[in-house]
C-alpha cells in the first residue's frame, strides 16, 4: 500500500496546480464509485489525507468539491476541510452529510462569519445548530438562517435573534415574513424600528423631544392593536401578559384597542390587570353598566377617570351589528369611535379628562385612515 501511495504522490508532485486538481478529482471519483478492495481504499484515504497539505488551494478545493455531497466521504478528511480557509471550508460546511449536529455546533463556534453562513444555508439545520448560530453570528448570517426553510428555529432562537439584531433592517424584514414568529416578538421588532426612527428624528432635530416621544408612543400603540387583531387566544394572552409586565398596558392602549372593536384585547387586558379570570371578565363586560363591571375596573388599578370611557366604548360596541365591528374596515372603525365619542360627550358634557380628548383624537385618526383607504391617499392621487 505504501508503494501505491508513493507512486501516486510522485506523479502528483510533477503536475501544476490545475493538473493536480484534475488528478484529485479522478481519485475522489474512483474512491466513491469504484469497487475497491480494503487495501486500495485505505491507500486512497492516505493519499487524500496527504493532499490536505497541498500548498495550492485549488487542489484542496477540488478535494472538497468531490467529497462534499457523499455520505461515504472519510469523516476525518471532511473535518479537516471544514477547518481549511473560508472558500474551501464553506463547500463541505454547506453540503456534507458526514458532519453531525455536534460537529456543526463545534465548528460554528470557532468559525468565521463566512463559514457560519454556509452552515446556516444547509438543506437542514437542526435546532441545536440553529441555536448555536444565532448566539454568535452577525445579522447577515442570522438572516440567512431565518430565510432558510430547512432551518429549525424555536421561539427561544427567535427571541435571541430579536434581542441581538432587532435594529438590523434586513433581519427585521426576514423575521416579519415568517408566519411562525410569535406575536410578542413582532412587537419587539416594531420597538426596534421605533427606536431607530426616534434616534434619526432626534439626531436631525425634525421635531421636539416631547413630540417625538408622543408620536413614537402612539405609533407603537397602533402596532400593538394591529398585531393583536389577528392572533390566537394563546398568543394574545402572552402578548397581554408581556405588556402588563413592561408597564405598557395603559388606559390609552386599552381604549385604542376597544376603538378598533377588539373586545378580546379589552377583556384580556382587564383580566391581567385585575387578576380576574377572563371568563368572568367577559360576563361582567357583557353587563357593562352594572355594579360588577364598575368593581372590576376598580380592581384593575386604572385611573377612575378612564371608567366612563370604558363603559361608553363597551356599550357602543355591543350595540353595533356584527358587520359594524369589522376591525379590518377603517370606515367601520371610524363610525364606531365617532358614535362612542358622541355618546360620551352627551353623557359627560362637563367632563374634562385626557381620555375624553383621546377618544376625540382617535375618531379623527380613524376617519383620516378611512379616507386614505378609500382614495389611496392625497399624495398618491396627486
Cell of 11: 506523479
Residue the block writes with cell 487542489: 59
What DSSP element (H or E) covers 293? Answer: helix 291-300
One domain, residues 44 and 134: no
C-alpha span between 61 and 308 (Å, rounded):
74
Cell numbers found for residue 258: 376597544
Query: What separation, in Å, do the N-terminal and C-terminal C-alpha atoms of the chain show?
Result: 82
Last residue of a domain, one of 158, 174, 203: 158
Give the whole-angstrom CA distance, residue 333 versus residue 329. 6
Residues 285 and 335 in one domain: yes
Helix, strand, coil proportions of the chain in percent (round to 5)? 75, 0, 25
Select from 51, 73, 99 the last residue of a domain: 99
Residue 24 is assigned to a structural domain of this protein: yes
Residue 114's domain spans which residues? 100-158
Non-local CB neighbours of 132 within 8 Å, separated by 6+ positions = 104, 105, 108, 109
Residue among 131, 119, 55 at smallest CA distance from 89: 119
Same domain, 93 and 108: no
Q: Are residues 78 and 109 in the same domain?
A: no
Count up the domains in the chain and report the number. 3
Is 340 in the same domain as 310?
yes
DSSP state of 325: G
Domain boundary among 114, 141, 158: 158
| Shared-domain flag, residues 322 and 360 | yes
| C-alpha to C-alpha distance for 104 and 122, rounded to whole angstroms | 11
5 and 88 co-located in one domain:
yes
Residue 141 domain flag:
yes
How confident is the prediction along the chain (382 residues), in pLDDT tens digits per residue? 455 566 777 777 778 999 899 989 988 998 998 888 888 888 889 889 989 999 999 999 999 999 999 999 999 999 999 999 999 999 999 999 999 999 999 999 888 999 999 999 999 999 999 999 999 999 999 999 999 999 999 989 998 998 898 888 889 889 988 888 888 888 877 776 666 666 666 666 666 666 666 666 677 778 788 888 878 888 889 889 988 988 888 888 998 888 887 788 999 999 999 999 999 998 888 776 678 888 898 999 988 888 888 888 888 888 776 544 455 566 677 778 888 888 877 877 766 667 777 877 887 777 777 666 666 655 554 4
Whole-prediction pTM value? 0.69
Backbone angles phi, psi at 82, to 5 degrees: -70, -15
Domain shared by 6 and 71, yes or no: yes
Pairwise CA distance, residues 246 & 226, whole Å: 19
Same domain, 82 and 104: no
Distance CA 144, CA 196 (A): 22
Q: Are 63 and 52 within 8 A, CB to CB? A: yes
Amino acid at each position: 500500500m505504501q508503494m501505491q501511495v508513493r507512486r501516486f504522490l510522485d506523479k502528483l508532485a510533477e503536475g501544476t496546480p490545475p493538473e493536480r486538481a484534475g488528478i484529485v478529482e479522478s481519485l475522489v471519483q474512483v474512491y466513491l464509485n469504484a469497487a475497491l478492495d480494503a487495501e486500495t481504499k485505505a491507500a486512497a484515504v492516505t493519499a487524500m489525507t496527504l493532499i490536505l497539505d497541498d500548498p495550492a488551494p485549488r487542489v484542496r478545493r477540488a478535494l472538497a468539491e468531490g467529497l462534499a455531497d457523499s455520505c461515504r466521504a472519510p469523516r476525518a478528511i471532511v473535518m479537516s476541510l471544514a477547518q481549511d480557509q473560508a472558500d474551501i471550508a464553506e463547500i463541505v460546511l454547506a453540503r456534507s452529510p458526514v458532519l453531525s449536529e455536534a460537529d456543526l455546533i463545534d465548528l460554528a463556534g470557532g468559525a468565521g462569519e463566512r463559514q457560519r453562513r454556509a452552515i446556516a444555508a444547509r438543506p437542514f439545520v437542526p435546532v441545536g445548530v440553529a441555536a448555536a448560530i444565532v448566539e454568535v453570528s452577525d445579522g447577515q448570517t442570522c438572516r440567512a438562517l431565518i430565510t432558510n426553510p430547512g432551518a429549525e428555529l424555536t421561539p427561544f432562537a427567535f427571541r435571541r435573534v430579536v434581542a441581538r439584531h432587532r435594529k438590523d433592517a434586513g433581519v427585521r424584514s426576514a423575521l416579519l415574513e415568517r408566519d411562525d414568529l410569535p406575536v410578542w416578538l413582532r412587537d419587539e421588532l416594531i420597538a426596534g424600528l421605533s427606536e431607530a426612527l426616534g434616534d434619526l428624528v432626534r439626531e436631525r432635530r425634525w421635531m421636539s423631544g416631547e413630540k417625538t416621544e408622543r408620536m413614537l408612543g402612539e405609533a407603537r400603540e397602533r402596532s400593538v392593536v394591529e398585531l393583536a387583531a389577528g392572533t390566537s387566544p394563546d398568543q394574545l394572552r402572552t402578548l397581554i401578559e408581556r405588556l402588563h409586565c413592561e408597564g405598557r398596558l395603559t388606559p390609552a392602549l386599552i381604549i385604542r384597542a376597544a376603538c378598533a372593536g377588539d373586545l378580546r384585547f379589552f377583556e384580556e387586558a382587564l383580566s391581567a390587570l385585575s387578576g380576574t379570570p377572563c371568563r368572568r371578565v367577559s360576563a361582567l363586560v357583557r353587563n357593562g353598566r352594572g355594579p360588577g363591571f364598575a368593581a372590576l375596573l376598580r380592581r384593575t388599578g386604572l385611573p377612575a377617570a378612564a371608567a366612563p370611557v370604558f363603559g361608553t366604548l363597551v356599550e357602543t360596541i355591543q350595540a353595533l351589528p356584527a358587520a359594524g365591528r369589522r376591525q379590518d374596515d377603517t370606515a367601520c372603525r371610524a363610525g364606531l369611535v365617532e358614535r362612542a365619542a358622541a355618546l360620551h360627550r352627551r353623557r359627560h358634557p362637563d367632563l374634562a379628562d385626557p381620555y375624553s380628548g383621546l377618544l376625540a383624537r382617535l375618531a379623527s385618526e380613524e376617519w383620516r385612515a378611512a379616507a386614505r383607504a378609500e382614495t389611496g391617499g392625497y399624495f398618491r392621487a396627486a
